Structure 1
Amino acid sequence: MSIGRSFHVLLTANAASNLADGLAFVSIPLLAASLTDDPRFIAGLATVYALVRLLVALPIGVWVDRADRRTLLAMANLLRGAAILALAISLLVGVEGLVLLYVAFGILGTLESAADNAAISLVPSYVHDRDLDRANGRISATQLVADEFVGPPLGGLLFAVAATMPVFMMGGLWAVAGFLALALPRALKRSATSSELSAPRAFWTEAFDGLRWIARNRVVGGLALVGALASVGYMLPFSILVLFAQDRLGVNETGYGMILAVSALGGLAGSFLTSRVRARFGYRMTIATSLLTGALSLFALAMTTEPILAAILLAIYILHAVVWGICATSLRQRLVPDELRGRVNAGSRVLGLLGLALGSIAGGALATIDLTLAITAGGAVFIACTVLALILIRTTDGQPPTAA
C-alpha cells in the first residue's frame, strides 16, 4: 500500500540531501588535506561540526515548533546549497584557506540540524500513525544508500577529476532538496494550546520545554535515556574500530572499507524489516531484542580475529542500530504533541550527542589498556540499555501507549 504522494516528495528531497551529505563526508576532508598535512586541523573539522550541532540543537527546536516546517526545511537546504556553492566559487577563483573551510563546515552543521529536525517533525503530517514505521524505514534505507554506498565513492571520483566538482554537485543537490520541499503541501494547521495563546515567553524558556517534557513522560523520557546510553555504547567500539581492524583483524585500508561496506548492508536490511517485526512483536520487545542483539554482536566481535566474521557481526550490529532508531523515532512521532515535536526532537538529540562524545572519550581511554576492552564495554552498555528499555518502555498489543 502506498504511503502517499506528499511523503514521497519528502523522501525524494531527503534522498538528494543525503547524497550531498555523502559527497561532503569524503570531499570536505580531502579539501582540508589539500590545504594542510597537520592531522589536528583535519580532525578539527569533525570536532567543529559536532560542537556546532550540539550548540544549535535546542534553539533550532524552538524554530521548528514556531515556524512553518515545510518552509524551514526548504530554506535550510537552499541556504546549504548557497553556502557550499559560494565555497566552490571561492576555491575556483583561488580564494582558499582552512578558516574558510571551517566556517563553511560550521554553517553546514547548523543548517543540517535545522533540516533534519524539520523533516522528522513533518513526517507525521503526511503519514498515518500505522505507516510511521514503514515511512521511517524508507527514510533510513535512502539515507544508508546515499551516505554509505553512493555518496562517498562518487565524491572521491569527482574529487579526482577536479577538487571543486563534488562541491558544486553538493550545492546543486541541496538546492534540489530545497525546491522539492517547497513542493510539499502545507501541513495541517496545528491546534493552539493554552501555552501558545498566552503571552510570548522567553526564547530559552521555550528551548528547554522539550527537555522538561522528556523528563515528565515515562516512555519518551525512557527513549531519550536509552538513546543517550546507546550513543555511549555505539562510540565505545566505533571510536577505535579502525585500530581494531588493523591490529586485531590484520586488514589494510581497503579491507577496512570493505568491512564497513558489508556492515552497512545490515542497516539496509533493518530498514525494510523493522515495520514487519514491530507489527508482530510490538515496540517494547522489538526495541529490547534489538538492543540485546547489539550487545551480543559486540561481545562476539571482541573475541574474533577473522575479518569476514567481523564484517558479519558488524552488519548484525548496524541492523540492530537501525531497528532501534526507527522504533524510537516512530514512538516519539506518535506520542509527542505536534506543537512540541521540534523541541523534544532537539532535547533527545542533545542527549544523544553528549553520549557520543562521552563514548568516544571512554573508548579511547579503554583502548590504551586493550582494544577489545572498549568493544566489550560497548556490549555491557547495551545490556544496560536492554534492561532500561524493558523497564521504561511499555506497550499494549504492539501499539504505543497513549499516555506517560
Structure 2
Amino acid sequence: MSTAPATRGDRLGPDFHRFWGAGAFTNLADGMLAVALPLIAVTLTQDPLLIAGLTAVRFLPWLLLAPLSGVLIDRVHRMRAMVVSNSLAALVMVGLVLTLVTGHLSLWALYAAMFAVICCETVTDPASRIAVVQLVPARLLDRANSRVEGARLVAQDCLGRPVAGFLFAAGAAAPLAGIAGSYALCVLLLCAVPLVWRRPVPEDGPEVEPAGSEGFWRSTGEGFRQVFTDRVLRGNMLCNAGMMVGGNMSGAVLVLYAQNGLGVSTALFGVFSASMAIGGICGALAAGAIITRIGRRATVLGGYLVMSVGLTSVALVADPYSAFAFLTVAGFCMVASNIAAGPYYQVVVPDAVRGRVSGVTRMVGWGATPIGALAGGLLGRIDLVLPFFVGGAIAIVTTVLAWRVITETARRTDRALADAAESEALPTGAG
C-alpha cells in the first residue's frame, strides 16, 4: 500500500511558509550556537574532554526534561509554546553577551547558556515537528518535512555555522548577538501564523487520554507507557540512541580534529562543518524521489549504513577536502533516512500523546548523546581519530540490530499515510 502522490500543482500554503520561515530563523540561531560556543571555549581551554563537555551539555536537557516537555506540549497550544520558548532563548543569549562584555565570561557560563537554550529547544523542536501535521494535508507530508529539513540544514549548517565562524573573527560578542536576534525574528514570524491565535481542530484517531485530563505525573507516566509497551516505538527509541551515541563521539571532537589533524583554520571551521549540511540539503531535495523509487524501508536502512561508513572514513584521510566529501555523503544519507522515518510520529502515533511520545523517545535517544560525547572526548585524549572509528562501528551495529524494527516502522507509516490520503480524498459527508 502506498500513499497517493502529491502533484506539482499542490501548494503547501502561506501559513506553512510563515511557519517554515520561523523555523529557519530558529535553526540559524542553533547553527551559530553550535559553532560559536565551542570556538569561544577553545580560547579558554585546549582539553578535549572539557570541549566535548559542551556537546554533552547540549544534549543533557533532553535526558532530564524531554518527558516533562512532552507533557507540556500535549497540554498547551503547541505553536504558542514555540513562541514562549524562542523568546526565552533570546533572553538567555542576551545575558551571555552581557557576561562577555563585562569580563565575567567563563567555561561554566558557556555550559550554563548552552543548557538553558537547549532546555527551550526541548519544547520548540518536537512542537514544530508535530505542528506540521496541522498545516498541510497527509499527501503533502513528505514534501513538507523535506522543506522543513532542508531549511534547517541551510539555515543551521550552511549559513549559521559559517556565519558564526566569520563573526567570531570580528569578536566573540558578534555571533552571540546574532543568535539572540535570530531567535527574536523567529518569534515575530510565528506570531504572523493565524494558527497561533486559534485553537487547532483535534484529529480523529484512537482514544488516548489527553494530557490535561489527568495529573501531571500520571500524564508523564502515560508517555512512558506508550513507548515502552509498543515494540516499534521502543525499538526506534533504542535505535536512535545508538545512532546518536555513535555519531556524536566524532562530532564532539570535530573542532579539535579539524584544526589539529586536518589543518582547518578557525575562521574556516564553520565552512568545513557545513559539509554535512550541504549533503543534507541534497538529501532533503532528493528524499521524496528516493522514497518513491526504492521505498521507505530501503531509504532508512541504506541511509543509516552509508552514513556510518562515511563518518568512519573521515579518520582515514589526511586532507580536509576528502574529509569534507565523506561528511557530505554522511549528511546526505542522514537527512534522507530521517525524512523517510519521520512521518511515523506524525501519523501513526495518536495526536493526543504525540508530545509525550516524542519527549520520552528523545529523553533516551538524545539523552544518550552525552555518553557518546564524553566517550569521544576521552578517546580523543588518546588519539583524535579513535572517536571516528569507534563511533562508526557503534552506528553500524545499531542499524543491523534494528533491521526488523525499521522494516515494521516503514510498513506502518506507508499504511497510515495511504489511509489518511484516502480519507482526505472523500467528499464531505461521505462514509
TM-score, L = length of structure 1 = 0.84
Residue 82 of structure 1 is matched in structure 2 by 91
Structure 1 gaps of 5+ residues are none
1:399 aligns with 2:423: no
Deviation of residue 156 (structure 1)?
4.1
Match of 2:286 among 249, 273, 277: 273
Alpha-carbon offset, residue 74 of structure 1: 1.0
Map 1:165-314 to 2 at 5 A. Answer: 165-184=174-193, 185=195, 186=198, 188-190=200-202, 196=209, 200-241=213-254, 250-253=262-265, 259-298=272-311, 300-305=313-318, 307-314=320-327
**1:56 maps to what in 2?**
65
Is 1:386 aligned to 2:399, yes or no?
yes
Shift of 1:8: 1.0
> Matched residues, percent identical?
32
Aligned counterpart, 1:111: 120
- The Cα offsets for residues 216-243 of structure 1, whole Å up to 9 and x where unpaired, read as 3333333222211111221233344456
Distance 1:90 1:259, change over 3 A: closer
Deviation at 1:66, TM superposition (A): 0.4
Cα gap change, 1:4/1:306 in structure 2, threshold over 3 Å: closer, same or farther?
Answer: same
Instruction: State how 1:34-45 maps to structure 2 within 5 Å.
Output: 36=44, 45=54
The answer on 1:70 being equivalent to 2:58 is: no
Shift of 1:375: 3.2
38-47 vs 303-312, greater mean Cα deviation? 38-47
Counterpart CA distance in 2 for 1:169 and 1:303 is 36
Distance 1:187 1:119, change over 3 A: farther
Q: How does 1:297-376 map to 2 (within 5 A)?
A: 297-298=310-311, 300-305=313-318, 307-364=320-377, 374-376=387-389
* Distance of 1:116 and 1:151 partners within structure 2: 17
Asked if the contact 2:154–2:278 (Cα under 8 Å) also holds between the matched residues in 1, the reply is no
Q: Which amino acid aligns with 2:414?
A: Q
SS of 1:178's equivalent in the other structure is: helix
Q: Does 1:145 pair with 2:154?
A: yes
Show CA shifts across 1:142-196 (max 9, x none). Answer: 1222222222333344455555444333333212211222222145332698653
Highest RCO, 1 vs 2 (Cα 8 Å, sep ≥ 6): 2
Distance of 1:55 and 1:217 partners within structure 2: 22
1:20/1:245 CA distance change after superposition, 3 Å: closer
- Larger mean CA deviation between 353-362 and 169-178 belongs to 353-362
Distance 1:305 1:199, change over 3 A: closer
**Alpha-carbon distance between aligned partners in 2 of 1:399 and 1:357, rounded to the nearest angstrom:** 33
CA contact (8 A) 2:55 2:252 kept: no
Q: What is the distance in 2 between the residues matched to 1:197 and 1:252?
A: 51
Which letter maps to 1:317? A
AA of the residue aligned to 1:275: G
**Amino acid paired to 1:399:** D
CA, structure 1 residues 169+308, in 2 after alignment: closer, same or farther (shift >3 Å)?
closer
1:105 Cα shift? 3.5
Moved more, 37-46 or 386-395: 37-46
Aligned positions, number: 400
Any idea what the Cα deviations from partners look like across 1:38-62, whole Å, max 9, x if unmatched? 8587765544443234212111110
Is the Cα–Cα contact under 8 Å of residues 10 and 180 in structure 1 kept in the other structure?
yes
Match of 2:140 in 1: 131
**TM-score w.r.t. length of structure 2:** 0.79
Cα displacement (A) at 1:379: 3.6
Contact 2:75–2:211 (Cα < 8 Å) also in 1: no
Cα distance in 1 for residues equivalent to 2:54 and 2:384: 26
Give the stretch that moved more between structures: 37-46 or 311-320.
Answer: 37-46
Q: Tell me the distance in 2 between the aligned counterparts of 1:300 and 1:46.
A: 22
Q: CA RMSD in A?
A: 3.4
Q: Residues 360, 281 of structure 1: CA spacing in aligned structure 2 closer, same or farther, 3 A cutoff?
A: same
Q: Deviations over 1:349-371 (max 9, x none)?
A: 11222332233344455566766
Secondary structure of the structure 1 residue equivalent to 2:342 = helix
Secondary structure, counterpart of 1:208 in structure 2:
helix
Of 96-105 and 314-323, more deviation after overlay is shown by 96-105
| 3-state DSSP of counterpart to 2:122 | helix
8 Å contact kept, 1:298–1:379: yes
Native 8 Å contact 2:22 2:185 kept in 1: yes
Query: Which segment drifts farther, 36-45 or 105-114?
Result: 36-45
Query: Judging changes above 3 Å, is the alpha-carbon distance between structure 1 residues 302 and 24 closer, same or farther for their aligned structure 2 residues?
Result: closer
Kept in 1: contact 2:223–2:360 (CA 8 A): yes
